[in-house]
Amino acid sequence: MRNQDQLCVMYKTEKDLLYFYSNLPVYLKQRMKLWQKWNSITLLQQDYDALKSRMTTQGDSGEEQGFIVEKNIQYKLHQAYEEEQTIPWGVARVQAPRVWPRVQGIGINVGIIDTGIDARHPDLQPNIKGGVNTIDASSPFVDANGHGTHVAGTVAAVNNQVGVVGVSPRARLYSLKAFDSEGSATLSDIAQAIDWAIDNNIRILNMSFGSRDSSQVLHQAIRTALANGILMIASAGNANESLDYPARHPEVLTVGATNRQNRVAPFSNYGSTLNYVQPGVDILSTWPEAPYYKTLSGTSMATPHLTGICALLLSQSPQLTPRQVKQILDQSARRLPNTAQRRQGRGFVIATRAINLLTRRIEARNNAPSAPRRR
């Protein structure tokens, strides 16, 4: 289902949802999408109009079933502008190459909710392990826009001595194609991508997109993903205003953009739930068309730098929870001078500081005296 005229309905409880859904004719179910994990369905406006009175009837509990209705909100990729450059300076600025002798992201599944990934690109192909197309399940996750391929390259372009290299060059990439060639996605497309991530052992989700509209359905999907141990990284937005959604939700790590001068980019959105800033201006990365590399700017480009750092942390210590990763990032981030907190959050995250902090914690735990045994 991909239709901007659809509606998303979320019940208060899974029991109420299933009571309503299980009694529907098969032909109606075939036109809907069930999101059981967050008590929701997506359906056509005409079906909602016909079924509305049925939705509000009493359930088997004897109480009126409560639900909320939302439009199938449009989300836009957080891409600002582009200028030609020659080197991926952001990877060097976060000092990722200094930790590669110790850790490179091996074994960590990273999902990129975006326009797809070019699986044929020589800098990406070895690390692409699968994915899904939520726009059209019968088609592969081909990237006809370029944004997703660019984001993926910053996370995990292979260290193969050609092109560029990503922050976490041996992480496992999964393409969750929810955005079309114009860079647009619907709420239901994104919800399905998150659902797929939960069911397929994704550890990190990169979400370089946003909307000014909030969604309780998407928020519930994010809460469910976090409860399943998925770390979510979202871009702040590029309008020099308050944070977009899902970046505004406290369950995600939100990233703003900096430039080569270590200043926050003038387009970068801000707010109380902004967590960090990362390189996001003139970022060189992979591209699906000749010459196969391109320079872009935006908080979309900043976000995969942090995603890559998180993959490095999880690769070194796979048992880390999202909360523990955030604690390490908070403690290792450096504040930018003369910059308000709402513009930078905790500050700029550097891979060497984060990995060194984690290493000290592991060593301290291993060297801690064991508790005496009771006799």
Catalytic positions are 114, 147, 300
Distances (CA, A) of 44 to 10, 27, 300: 14, 13, 31
**Rg for the chain, CA atoms, rounded:** 21
Rounded to whole angstroms, the Cα distance separating 115 from 151 reads 10
CB-neighbour burial class of residue 99 (10 A; exposed 0-12, middle 13-18, buried 19+): buried
Among 314, 350, 316, smallest CA distance to 332 is for 350
- Partners of residue 7 on adjacent β-strands: 43, 71
Among 7, 3, 73, smallest CA distance to 40 is for 7
